[in-house]
Structure 1
């Protein structure tokens, strides 16, 4: 029960972070970071009286239904809750952040929280901060077995019916949304006469935001992926290394029977995965046990098993 409650609380926190990223750093500056909410930002420019979160509902609810009908996806309560909570939080935050209905409809950054959050002259900062928050929030949601829906479902549809890889499908969807934003928003940030900052610059900010979001989500789910794979081959039986791995590192390893190709002499080969912080200690122990040992250290892209990550389920979306 405690784990379940913590998971639901984490999903709520993730949704709050995503909504804050959009409301305070993305929506006011017409940065379009792809996906359903990116399309919602574009549509808000056409229909200012309808908030971005409301357009989010218009995308999320039909897509959730489509995923059940066309993909046969069994939507969990967590996914439904995350997909419906995020737009609600976005609308609530927007109403609290702007003093008047006119400012809310215009998403005027000069009036955002009394003008204290106006980053009109620092669009790169707004882009990076917003994308980072969205990535962190989405990563938290996904790590708790949920998804915010949107372009993920479109990507799965394209994968199934058009035989396009999921990652490429997401890229196509986001690219189409960015192009849609470029067509709708026009040639000036808030004003066609603003030649110092033409709106096609916003497309570059949008692409930067898409990249940052994808990298942050991957980091939140998979970590920094800096585990190291170590092979140790020695003529000796390195009991000191065995003890160090089992007692000091509190890990295990695999001993593989091997022999030298030239000499035919039996050797001991140890297969070991450690974090990058533990590599130095392993090297020092190997040198003390056998200075002539042959050692290979390389990157372990992904590590699954006891003490590491769990293997993904067949329906789990890989952020890479």
Structure 2
């Protein structure tokens, strides 16, 4: 009764779906970051994350899409599509709230010129590089494998460095969920 007279109904359903997704994602993200759930599909998603290491937002999206698909015959096609838009936006916002607005990338680099690549990354990007000794299974050739974690914004610069030093390098880019330590959550020693 307190909020009954507040707010204005929207004539634009798409705008309503977008902002509903944003607000739901922010709310759920804050609840999950605090260690709680909102009930419903959130409980299943939290359990799947805890025991199966499934992504919370994607699990919720899958469950909610099943519910919305079954409601298609009740709410109709147009409202079903708007609901899917809202759920998708909510999922993306939830990811940003849980994982942060500045995701990291881990890059594995296999190069015949790995020492030069590592030196350039150290010098130009002020990023540490971990070097693993490895060998090819087929060729039995010994080589160094480089591993570096960068901000998403630094990825293009890193690719340029690698390409400039060794156009034949084999590079794998991985999404990283969490990074902590010197240079990320702990300031570098000056």
Q: TM-score, normalised by structure 1?
A: 0.42
Give the equivalent residue in structure 1 for 2:154: 278
Give the equivalent residue in structure 2 for 1:145: 35
Note if 1:127 corresponds to 2:17.
yes
- Give the structure with the larger helix fraction: 1
Residues 233 and 293, structure 1, Cα contact 8 Å, conserved in 2: no
Q: Trace 1:64-79 onto structure 2 (pairs within 5 A).
A: none
Note if 1:240 corresponds to 2:112.
no
Note if 1:301 corresponds to 2:178.
no
SS of the residue 2:111 aligns to: strand
How many residues are aligned here? 173
CA RMSD of aligned residues (A): 4.0
SS of the residue 1:229 aligns to: strand
Pick closer, same or farther for the CA change 1:181–1:278 going to 2, 3 Å: closer
- Give the structure with the larger strand fraction: 2
Rounded Cα–Cα distance in structure 2 between residues aligned with 1:215 and 1:172: 15
Note if 1:212 corresponds to 2:89.
yes
Q: Trace 1:167-246 onto structure 2 (pairs within 5 A).
A: 171-172=62-63, 175-176=66-67, 179=70, 183=74, 200-223=77-100, 227-235=105-113, 237-238=115-116, 240-241=119-120, 243-244=122-123
Rounded Cα–Cα distance in structure 2 between residues aligned with 1:129 and 1:258: 50
Q: Which structure 1 segments of 5+ residues have no match?
A: 1-90, 99-111, 160-164, 186-198, 310-320
SS of the residue 1:255 aligns to: strand
Pick closer, same or farther for the CA change 1:285–1:241 going to 2, 3 Å: same
Residues 235 and 267, structure 1, Cα contact 8 Å, conserved in 2: no
SS of the residue 1:130 aligns to: helix
Q: TM-score, normalised by structure 2?
A: 0.63
